[in-house]
Amino acid sequence: MNKNIRRSIFIFGGIIILAVSLRYSVFTKKETVPTVTAEKTIPQKRGNRTLNVNAMIIKKQFLTDEVEVRGRLLPDEEVDLSFETSGKITEINFKEGTFIKKGQLLAKVNDASLQAQLKRLEVQLKLAEDRVFHQDALLKKEAVSKEANSSVKRCI
């Protein structure tokens, strides 16, 4: 027989055996024999010494296994984050374990100095545009040479 067919039959047979055993264990009622025991210490005498016995009624209850271990968890995947500028991270815009989309803002770096630099450059651009406008007005009145006008335009 083909290797794949044998493997399929083996897996299918295992699933059937597992299903039958689960059905049998889940749907069959097991009779429990009630036991009568005391819930307090009963002293029993044996020879010269007394034997204390602790007993309690056994009841069906859930068993919770707790394991305390020391170790290190390693992730399945790891991603290195890099920023265009260095600085202190001021915002983290995601929670650990959540899915993110491509291009989504993950963290924000303190950009106060960059914002100040941007405002300064915007003011300089506005001043340069005003200077060009003024030079164009002077050129129309022939109060300035074309070379001086073009040098001012090149500064922008």
Average pLDDT of the residues of the chain:
80
pLDDT of residue 20: 83
- Give residue 26's pLDDT band: very low, low, confident or very high (50, 70, 90): low
pLDDT at 29 over 70: no
pLDDT at 3 over 70: yes
Q: Distance (Å, rounded) from C-alpha 26 to C-alpha 19? A: 10
Average pLDDT score over residue span 47-56:
73
DSSP label at residue 3: H
pLDDT of residue 47: 64
pLDDT of residue 116: 94
Average pLDDT score over residue span 97-115:
88
Average pLDDT score over residue span 45-67:
77
Query: Quick one: which of 119, 122, 123, 125 has its CA closest to 133?
Result: 125
Average pLDDT score over residue span 144-150:
77
Query: Quick one: which of 108, 110, 82, 78 has its CA closest to 96?
Result: 78
